[in-house]
Structures are given as structure tokens and as C-alpha cells.
């Protein structure tokens, strides 16, 4: 898949990242490297990974020729070339760290998302991302999760209703919360904590249920009780090690905040050649 890097939030994120790193100037590069020197920078994967964010390179190296070899969503192995950037050596050196920070981080998210998707392969269950993202980088991180095969769910608080346990407490009951959101005009999901809440939600016509912090055995029992009367998302404690067990319990969706909040930056390098 290709990233749409035209969104103002993304362009602003790149500008802020460059300004944060460069400040008043890259003094090491300006002192060491002749202004007339030109170079090519080869971006190379140093481990197996799912790529994400390479489409940001033209925004970072604005006065260079950027040749993108692989695209977001591609599966790479150690040694695969990602892109070649040609231009002033000073520009390549100054933008190197910002480029790597973005692509290593986003590819880490995509790689972890792909691992979760692979873990439930062959079941009808799909992997959802969450709002547990780095502040200011949600759009990029959700695009990276999608590059790994996860389904983007809820961009923010504005595009879907998710009634959590604290909402139920504040509203007074499951029924009260559902009745007050019935005409929201957006998808509605409700978390239920007990079998009584589950039955109350089903009686009120809830179409999408969130079950949190159940064991796979408990989840299987609850899903059987629901009996396709609503779609079911499981969350809480979902890991690569147990994702398949939860999927085989009959869930329609598994959500994991780890995809964005705990992804490891993957190993990518940027090799300069004069």
C-alpha cells in the first residue's frame, strides 16, 4: 500500500521533526563536508521487516532525486534496498536521522501488525489497531498498522462511539448509555464487564460488543452465549503468543494497543556513497 503523505498533519510532522533536529544548522556537516560535494544514499533493510513510511522521503530530501525501490506494505529481508537518494552530500547527511527515525519506527509498527495478522491467519478474526499512539503521529502510525494488514479503527474520539466501563458508570447503566447514543450517526460499540451487562446490551440491540480481559476459555464461553447476535471484539492482554487462541474462541476482532505503543524500531541503515 502507498502512504498518502499529502495530508497537512503529515507534512507538519515532517517539518517539525526536521526543525527539531537541525535547529540553527547541522554544524558537523557544514564544517566537514564541502558544499559542492554530491552523493547517493542507499537505504537498506538490515533484518526481515514489513516496510512503512518510505513515501516520506521526498518530503525530507526536498532538493534531491529520490528513487523509491520498495513501497509501504512490502515484506523485506536483510539486505534489500528500500530507496536511493541522490543530491548534495550535506542534504543527505542532514536529513539522514530524521528519515531513519520515521521509517524505522513506522516499519516497526507495520512489522508487528503483520505478525499479529499472521498469528490469526486462517480464522475469520481480524486485527484492529487502537488510539494508543504517539501523540502527534497517530495518522502515520495508523497508516503503518494498515500497511501491516491491521484494520484501522477509530481515528479519534469523533468518528465512532465506544462506550467503555467508565462511560457506563457515568451514564448510570448499559441501557442509559446505549439509548443516549442511539442516534449518533456513527458506529456504536459497548464494553460489557459482566454477563448481566452483556445480556442487557443484547436486549437493547447492541450490534458491536467489546469484551475485555477475558481468558481464551472465558471468551469462548461468552462468544457462544452471544451466538452471533452481535459482532465481538476482544481486547486486554492480547499478545502474539495468545492471539490465535483468542481468535479461535470465535472473536470477530482482536485489538492490541501494543501494535502502536510497543512496536520496536526495526534495523535500517543509510549508506552514503560519494
Domain residue ranges in the chain? 8-112+263-273, 118-261
Query: What gap in Å lies between CA 192 and CA 234, rounded to an integer?
Result: 11
Please write the tens of the pLDDT for every residue from 21-31.
Answer: 999 999 999 99
Pairing of strands 75-76, 49-50: antiparallel
How far does Cα 102 stand from its chain's mean position?
13
Whether 118-261 and 8-112+263-273 are alike in CATH topology: the answer is no
Helix ranges restricted to H, the chain: 8-22, 27-32, 57-60, 89-119, 138-147, 165-171, 174-181, 195-203, 216-226, 243-248, 258-261
pLDDT for 167: 97
pLDDT for 6: 94
pLDDT for 2: 60
pLDDT for 3: 78
pLDDT for 199: 97
Please write the tens of the pLDDT for every residue from 93-109.
Answer: 999 999 999 999 999 99
Torsion of CA 120, 242, 131, 140, to 10 degrees: -50
Mean pLDDT of residues grouped by 10 in the chain (274 residues)?
84 97 98 97 98 98 97 98 98 98 98 98 98 96 98 95 96 97 96 96 97 97 97 97 98 97 97 94
Instruction: Give the contacts of 143 (CB within 8 A, at least 6 positions apart).
Output: 3, 4, 52, 53, 72, 106
CATH for the stretch 118-261: 3.20.20.70
Active site residues: 97, 132, 164, 191, 212
pTM of the model: 0.95
Whether CATH 3.90.1170.20 fits 8-112+263-273: yes
pLDDT for 1: 53
Amino acid at each position: 500500500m502507498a502512504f498518502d503523505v499529502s495530508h497537512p498533519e503529515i507534512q507538519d510532522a515532517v517539518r517539525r521533526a526536521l526543525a527539531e533536529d537541525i535547529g540553527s544548522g547541522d554544524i558537523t556537516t557544514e564544517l566537514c563536508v564541502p558544499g559542492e560535494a554530491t552523493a547517493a544514499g542507499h537505504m537498506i533493510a538490515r533484518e526481515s521487516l514489513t516496510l512503512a513510511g518510505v513515501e516520506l522521503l521526498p518530503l525530507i530530501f526536498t532538493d534531491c532525486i529520490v528513487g523509491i525501490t520498495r513501497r509501504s506494505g512490502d515484506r523485506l529481508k536483510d539486505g534489500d534496498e528500500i530507496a536511493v537518494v541522490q543530491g548534495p552530500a550535506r542534504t543527505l547527511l542532514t536529513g539522514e536521522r530524521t528519515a531513519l527515525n520515521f521509517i524505522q519506527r513506522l516499519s516497526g509498527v507495520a512489522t508487528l501488525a503483520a505478525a499479529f495478522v499472521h498469528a490469526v491467519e486462517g480464522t475469520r478474526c481480524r486485527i484492529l489497531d487502537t488510539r494508543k499512539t504517539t501523540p502527534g503521529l497517530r495518522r502515520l502510525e495508523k497508516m503503518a498498522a494498515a500497511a501491516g494488514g491491521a484494520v484501522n479503527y477509530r481515528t479519534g474520539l469523533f468518528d465512532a462511539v465506544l462506550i467503555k466501563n467508565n462511560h457506563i458508570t457515568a451514564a448510570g447503566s448499559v441501557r442509559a448509555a446505549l439509548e443516549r447514543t442511539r442516534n449518533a450517526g456513527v458506529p456504536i460499540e459497548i464494553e460489557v464487564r459482566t454477563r448481566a451487562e452483556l445480556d442487557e446490551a443484547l436486549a437493547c440491540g447492541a450490534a458491536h460488543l467489546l469484551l475485555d480481559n477475558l481468558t481464551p476459555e472465558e471468551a469462548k464461553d461468552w462468544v457462544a452465549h452471544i451466538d452471533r447476535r452481535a459482532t465481538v471484539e476482544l481486547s486486554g492482554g492480547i499478545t502474539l503468543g495468545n492471539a490465535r487462541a483468542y481468535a479461535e474462541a470465535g472473536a470477530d476482532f482482536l485489538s492490541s494497543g501494543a501494535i502502536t505503543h510497543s512496536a520496536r524500531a526495526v534495523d535500517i541503515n543509510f549508506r552514503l556513497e560519494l
